[in-house]
Amino acid sequence: MHHLLDQVLQKHYFAPAPQTGFDQEWDEDDIAEFSQIITNKSHELAAVILEPIVQGAGGMRFYSPHYLKRVRELCDENNVLLIANEIATSFARTGKLFACD
């Protein structure tokens, strides 16, 4: 759907979905492509938008909390805002009040 508006909207960059599952041992390679995007394009980015812990748009995929922590660190290091889309994960649906907790 994004290609329909590419003449109107700013360029969007998409990182691959996290592959390390919620209870799996963290693999730093899982964040490598995201890290490259944010490091190389930080001067073009307004923000990173993601669904924390549960990727609902991807079919309710639960990913490692460590991935979310690394995204937060990379956003801070590169002075990029992080927007957590907590529609499906807020108000204790994941155990904590917000999944980002």
Q: What is the pLDDT of residues 63-92, one digit of tens each?
A: 888 999 999 999 999 999 998 876 666 555
**63 in a domain, yes or no?**
yes
Q: 52: part of which helix (H) or strand (E)?
A: none
Q: Cα(98)–Cα(101) distance, rounded to whole angstroms?
A: 6
Structural domain range at position 37: 20-101
Backbone angles phi, psi at 4, to 5 degrees: -65, -25
Count the domains in the chain. Answer: 1
**59 in a domain, yes or no?**
yes
Q: What is the CA radius of gyration of the chain?
A: 14
Percentage, residues of the chain above pLDDT 70: 78
Q: What is the pLDDT of residues 44-71, one digit of tens each?
A: 998 998 888 777 666 777 788 899 999 9
Those residues with Cβ within 8 angstroms of residue 9's Cβ, 6 or more apart along the chain or in another chain: 2
Helix (H, G, I), strand (E, B) or coil at 54: strand
> Per-residue pLDDT for 100 more than 90?
no
**34 in a domain, yes or no?**
yes
Predicted structure pTM score? 0.78
Q: Cα(70)–Cα(63) distance, rounded to whole angstroms?
A: 12
**79 in a domain, yes or no?**
yes
- Which structure tokens are listed for 46? 């307004």
**41 in a domain, yes or no?**
yes
